[in-house]
Chains A and B, each alone.
Chain A
Amino acid sequence: MAELFIELFSEEIPSRMQNTARADLGRLVSGFLKAAGLKFGAVETYATPRRLCVKIADVPTSTPDINQQRKGPQVGAPEQAIQGFLRGAGVTLEQCVEQEIKGKTFYVAMIEKSGQQTAEIIAASMPELINKFPWPKSMRWGAGSLKWVRPLQSIICLFGGDVVPFEIENVPVGDSTQGHLFMNNARFSVKDFADYRAKLLAANVMLNGAEREAVILAEAQVICAKAGLELIDDKSLIAETAGLVEWPVALLGEFEIEFLDVPQRVIIETIKGHQKCFAVIDPKTKKLSHHFVAISNMIADDGGKTITHGNEKVIRARLSDANYFWQTDKKTKLADRVEKLKNITFHAKLGSQHQRVEAIKEIAEMLCEFTHADKAKTLLAVELSKADLVTHMVGELPELQGYMGQQYALAEGIDADVAEALAQHYAPQGPSDAVPTNIIALTVSLADKFNTLLGFWSIDEKPTGSKDPYALRRAALGIIRIVMERNLRLDIPAELLPFFIDRLKVYFREQGLRHDLIDAVFALKGQNDLVLAEKRVIALADFLATDDGANLLAGVKRANNILQAEDKKQPLKFNSIIDEKLLVLDAERHLFAAITKNVELMNEAVKKEDFAAAMTALAQLRQPIDSFFEDVKVNDDDAAIRINRLKLLFIIRTATKTIADFSRVEG
């Protein structure tokens, strides 16, 4: 048993790729060990901006010896068969014995192989692993043809403390590496992983990304606390910065307090998006402070003064730009910007953003009937909804679209609800994004999304497979969430319905509803009211969970099977008027009576959308149906009686179809 330790040392690996890459490294190295039949201990992987590492404990130093016997063809079998067997078993005829089995003599190969050295397996597997490493993007460098994410400079490959040499272009493979690029750049040799980790730490490299994240958070919080401030603890930014540094050092910087007049998200985006710095809150006001935290990669000689100063300078310049945009943009009213949308193409075949806004207006006007939003305000919100796209600020920070619309609207004194609608009308952007709370926003959001879907449908740009460049699935799911969460009763346009049903299945599945029940409900015609469809599915699920429901389902399915079988023999053509005189048995008379009474009740309940009551009425049929199938032979010799009985079954099927197509229900 020995420790395997590998380090792939390179120039800077993009932060976003590091975690996947180290997981891939762990998986691939474990993979070739496993493929060789080795069992081993814990696998640990690490990544920094300049290295990927894997350490595997307790790896056997060789694969087990093989000692087996394999039965071959009979002695005297055709030469070809014997040769084939020998090849397959990897032995010569001399290594076989003749053995009598059940009166016949066979060749038996005595396969004895001593295990392979693990070091050899490692040396043989590593070049291919490196050549085929699944980087999202890789590159060549120098005069070589090797590909890596950035130039690969050296490799440590130690097994049980010994270097496992292998050839990979001109990259040296050995036991040495380098520390921090600026603080401790000398090469040093290591004995094993523990030695490596300790020496790296001494050379100013924190190997573990999770540790770097913890240090970033702790240091940033400490310097904020010292200044009486509070860090905005941004998890994704912490993770990103941990992938940009080998030795994080937090520094507190500041900018002119006047810049705080700029809307908060602009400041946060500027500090975070461009500079990878953290925004800071003043706990007294609970608002942004004119400070930021920069994470540097250096213990500087001057204590970080120059670095802080440099970061301040950049942030000041960027905020100064942002402030300029904010002040300049405010001079033009949003309404006056709408005209400019004519110059911005939304999609080559769908026209300009201006045309888009006009189309959204039409839909929004109709939707107001359903959402009961104030029509004038809604139309104003639509009119202004895309106006911020032609502001300087959104040009620079596109992720602030919507939010900036709201800020400019408020600054020019537009109704707060309308302003909020400008910000919220893109929501929900994903499953975790909230549905708009503002009724105007909600109406605009629906209209925008319907317009997008109808538009792309009209030019036949539907999502296919994994391709959904216009995020149409997200738009449909957005509509579904709004409609469901706000209980909105409206009809999905027929051409979009199949697409919506697919999205709805995903949505319902996440809510824990059965997909076959969704199928059963949507098998009915005209189910374009999603809220109603959901009610049906839920009632159906509740009903089927009861004893009556389960049995009735069986009965209805049986009725359906009989009808289908008969229909195949000879297409059934009949009205559903039962001839009572032909009901000769008690069971069929009882069933008819139960149908007469309950189907009407059920229909009334369905009309009132009281599906629970409909199910209760339906449940009354269970007993009569069970008895019917027990006592009555549908296929009577008398054709008239037979048809009459089939009609009974037909009526049952028709009746249940006011709720769902039971034949689609599984089980």
Chain B
Amino acid sequence: MTSENMSAPQHMRPENSFQGMIMALQNFWADYGCAILQPYDMEVGAGTFHPATIMRALGPKPWKTAYIQPSRRPSDGRYGENPNRMQHFYQFQVVLKPSPKDIQELYIKSLSAIGIDQANHDIRFVEDDWESPTLGAWGLGWEVWVDGMEVSQFTYFQQIAGYDCSPVTGELTYGVERLAMYVQGVDNVYELNYNGREGADKITYGDVFHQNEQEYSRYNFETADTKMLMQHFKDAEQECQAIADASMAKSALGNDYIMALPAYDQCIKASHIFNLLDARGVISVTERQAYIGRVRALSKKCADLWMQTPLGKATNGEAK
């Protein structure tokens, strides 16, 4: 345990508090110089979808950020009955571009900061290649095991939407619920102490999220309007294309900005709608591939746009 945590009040310590763990991670990476962002305000399946990861990993400009991101995976819902599976959970995401030489060491130190010291734990980097068919992206790295438990995903991005990532972004994704359960010594996610208080003041993870899991599981699996969702999918697809087209046309008001990020929002939407339709079981195996291909086409379009923006392109003011 680092000295900062020793000095933190009991209710803020990672071993007592879910939010304490998130804040410890934020503090650790803020100390390193990361921009601490807030979650993206849209439904995403993973922290990687946040434009602060996927878009910023494209192009030559350095970038350092860390943020917590709620992740929604409708198919993983269990009506709040499974002790460690939810359709909504958190990922803590760290993005370092270019990946620093000591990134592994930094990661290990960050584990110490949340109460996993190296002297008594078995920390292992086990081969796990990452691939996102919807983002047309892949990278190599590991899943990180602590005492046999997978707690993080560690990836060196190689390609996104067909573009080589250069420099390479190092992405660290912490499964915070799982880490918190381990550090707090709890077997059921809903029993996690959320706010680090005891007695009447204690708020558990279940207090915050159990009802959400029940409601959303029912909605995701049973009632989400599939016909409407299919239409929304098409709408998002069309809007994404329309934004791409408009980006290439002259602005009547002289604001000739390429709108890569608004276009990408539509890609995120389409991706989440696809996940919902999948949870509703209305997508057959063959259609699945087709849907994934359609989302990939959107993310490719957005990446193409991004590469022409000031943040994405090779040097300021120079076209790709």
Contact = CB atoms under 8 A, between A and B. Distances in A.
A309 interface: yes
Interface string B153-189: 0001010000001111010000000000010000100
Contact of B285 (A296, A309, A345): A345
B156 A151 contact: yes
Contacts of A307: 120-122, 147-148
Interface stretch (A312-320, A499-507, A644-652): A312-320
Contacts of A49: 125
Nearest to B101: A142
Interface string A546-578: 000000000000000000000000000000000
B125 A11 contact: yes
Interface stretch (A133-141, A355-363, A449-457): A133-141
A244 B124 contact: yes
B118 interface: yes
Nearest to B149: A314
A149 B83 CA distance: 37
A264 interface: no
A277 interface: yes
B142 A12 contact: yes
Contacts of A15: 127
Contacts of A296: 122, 147
Contact of A309 (B104, B142, B147): B147
Contact of B168 (A140, A310, A313): A140
Contacts of A302: 120
A141 B156 contact: yes
Given A137-B140, A143-B98, A307-B120, A12 B125 contact: yes
B101 A153 contact: yes
B158 A139 contact: yes
Contacts of B148: 275-277, 294, 307, 310-311, 314-315
Interface in A182-226: 182
A12 B129 CA distance: 13
A14 interface: yes
Interface string A245-258: 10000000000000
Given A137-B140, A310-B148, A317-B84, A182 B118 contact: yes
A345 B244 CA distance: 36
B122 A298 contact: yes
Interface residues of B, number: 39
A182 B98 contact: no
Given A300-B119, A311-B148, A315-B148, A139 B124 contact: no
A137 B129 contact: yes
Contacts of B147: 296, 306-307, 309-311, 313-314
Nearest to B281: A343
A145 interface: yes
B99 interface: yes
B286 A139 contact: no
A323 interface: no
Contacts of A317: 83-84, 187
Contacts of B123: 182
B13 to A, nearest CB: 18
Contacts, number: 110
Given A310-B146, A314-B149, A345-B284, A141 B122 contact: no
Contacts of A140: 156, 158, 165-166, 168
Given A244-B124, A310-B121, A139 B285 contact: no
A322 B281 CA distance: 23
Interface string B117-144: 0111111111101000000000111100
Contacts of A137: 129, 140
A42 interface: no
Contacts of B127: 12, 14-16
A343 B149 CA distance: 34
Interface in B213-258: none
Interface string A343-359: 11100100000000000
Contacts of A141: 98-99, 156, 168, 170
B33 interface: no
A297 interface: yes
Range class of the A interface residue count = 35 or more
A319 to B, nearest CB: 13
B100 interface: yes
B149 A313 contact: yes
A638 interface: no
A141 B141 CA distance: 11
Interface in B64-104: 83-84, 98-101, 104
Contacts of A348: 285-286
B286 A345 contact: yes
A345 B156 CA distance: 35
Contacts of A306: 120-121, 147
A245 B123 CA distance: 10
A300 B122 contact: yes
Contacts of B285: 344-345, 348
B120 A300 contact: yes
Given A11-B125, A150-B140, A300-B120, A145 B166 contact: yes
B121 A142 contact: no
A301 interface: yes
Contacts of A145: 166
Interface in A151-183: 151, 153, 181-182
B119 A301 contact: yes
B182 to A, nearest CB: 7
A138 B129 CA distance: 11
A313 B129 CA distance: 25
Interface in B244-298: 284-286
24 contacts: A12-B125, A12-B142, A14-B127, A16-B127, A140-B168, A141-B98, A141-B99, A142-B167, A143-B167, A144-B167, A150-B140, A150-B141, A150-B156, A182-B119, A182-B123, A244-B126, A306-B121, A310-B121, A310-B146, A313-B182, A315-B148, A317-B83, A343-B284, A345-B286
Given A12-B125, A310-B148, 7 more contacts: A137-B140, A139-B140, A140-B166, A150-B141, A181-B108, A300-B122, A307-B147
Please give me the 6 A-B residue pairs with the lowest Cβ-Cβ distance, nearest first: A310-B147, A14-B127, A311-B148, A12-B125, A143-B167, A296-B122
